[in-house]
Amino acid sequence: MAYYIGVDIGGTNTACGVVNENCEIVARSKIKTNSSGNSLEYIDVLKVIKSAITAACEQAKIDVSDAESIGVGSPGVCNSESGIIENCSNIAFDNSPIRDDLEKEFGIPVYLDNDANAAAFGEFMSGAANGTKNAVIITLGTGVGAGIIIDGKIFRGSNYAGGEIGHTVIVVDGLPCGCGRRGCFEAYSSATGLIKMTLIAAEKHPESIINRLIEQDGRCSARTPYNAMKAGDPVGKAVTDNYVKYLACGITNVINTFQPEVLCIGGGVCNEGDILLKPLKEAVAKQIYSKNSRHNTEIVVCKLGNDAGIIGAAMLHKS
């Protein structure tokens, strides 16, 4: 049995898994990326990555050198050809030669890609997009992460910064986005965007069930407006309807551009199931350019959860 090591670097935790040739995680480890609370520097994160790799292999009862390769999914612009993380907004990964450093340490081939691309490739290899040739995977989290698979390969763009669907504009001169633009898909359709919409509605409607839920829970989450809607709150329903409107707009843009076989969506909000999916699919079906086609894109929920990044990273040698 061949084994591959997958590393998923996050701002909070760095996860690592030993993955077999059937895309099954047989051992794993997780270490805090930043235990000191100070600004994250490359040299410190590199130590964490090395420790996570060693720990996962110890659990799998193999030596790192027994694995076929190491794959790394990292935030930022990742040059998969040179193995260098060119820049990253949250970690000081400016021109960081992670491939060369890990190959020097462990003596086996190392592959690198953006973390959203790695997660998308995981869904393609063994998740909701498995069995397709063309797929788009969108994760609705703090931001909107995305990965594009074309003819079975990750689309990276000419400068390895392709696939940033979250930073396409759906409302001209709309809400500010962290990237510096206004009206981005991410500003409206991320879990963060949904929470902001909910808080605005709560302030405008102090009598709403939303306010009661926020008080009970001690916080507002992406589930709050859906829980309020389920309890019969018209304000909660208005928020969720508005969210689906923006989400459908962004997804329709993606389908019109790429016409993938499947478009997979992930993130905690997808736990709402058909309450989210049914109105979303109906809205997209009315808007897509290919509405009369017999082979329209299927919208599905991602299957692998947080394991997608590990599995996709481990399989980067096939990307």
pLDDT at 36: 65
Is residue 264 a contact partner of residue 300, using CB atoms and an 8 Å limit?
Answer: yes
Q: pLDDT tens for the chain, 319 residues: list them.
A: 899 999 999 988 999 999 999 999 999 999 999 866 667 789 999 999 999 999 999 999 999 999 999 999 999 999 999 999 999 877 888 999 999 999 999 999 999 999 999 999 999 999 999 999 999 999 999 999 999 999 999 999 999 999 999 999 999 999 999 889 999 999 999 999 999 999 999 999 999 999 999 999 999 999 999 999 999 999 999 999 999 999 999 999 999 999 999 999 999 999 999 999 999 999 999 999 988 778 899 999 999 999 999 999 999 999 9
Q: Which pair of tokens denotes residue 128?
A: 């909701």
Closest CA to 129 of 279, 297, 310: 297
Is residue 38 a contact partner of residue 101, using CB atoms and an 8 Å limit?
Answer: no
pLDDT at 35: 66
CB-CB neighbours of 278 under 10 Å: 11
Domains of the chain, CATH where assigned: 3-125+307-318 (3.30.420.40), 132-301 (3.30.420.40)
Q: Which pair of tokens denotes residue 255?
A: 């389908």
Q: Which residues contact 135 (CB under 8 A, 6 or more apart)?
A: 120, 123, 124, 129, 148, 149, 260, 261, 262, 263, 264
How far CA 312 is from CA of 56, 116, 150, 189, 231, in Å, comes to: 16, 9, 15, 24, 39
pLDDT at 211: 94
CB-CB neighbours of 52 under 10 Å: 24
Query: pTM, whole model, 2 decimals?
Result: 0.93
- Residue 96 sits at φ, ψ, to 5 deg, of -95, 120
How far CA 23 is from CA of 10, 115, 240, 287, in Å, comes to: 21, 17, 36, 36
Residue 55: alpha-carbon gap to chain centroid: 25
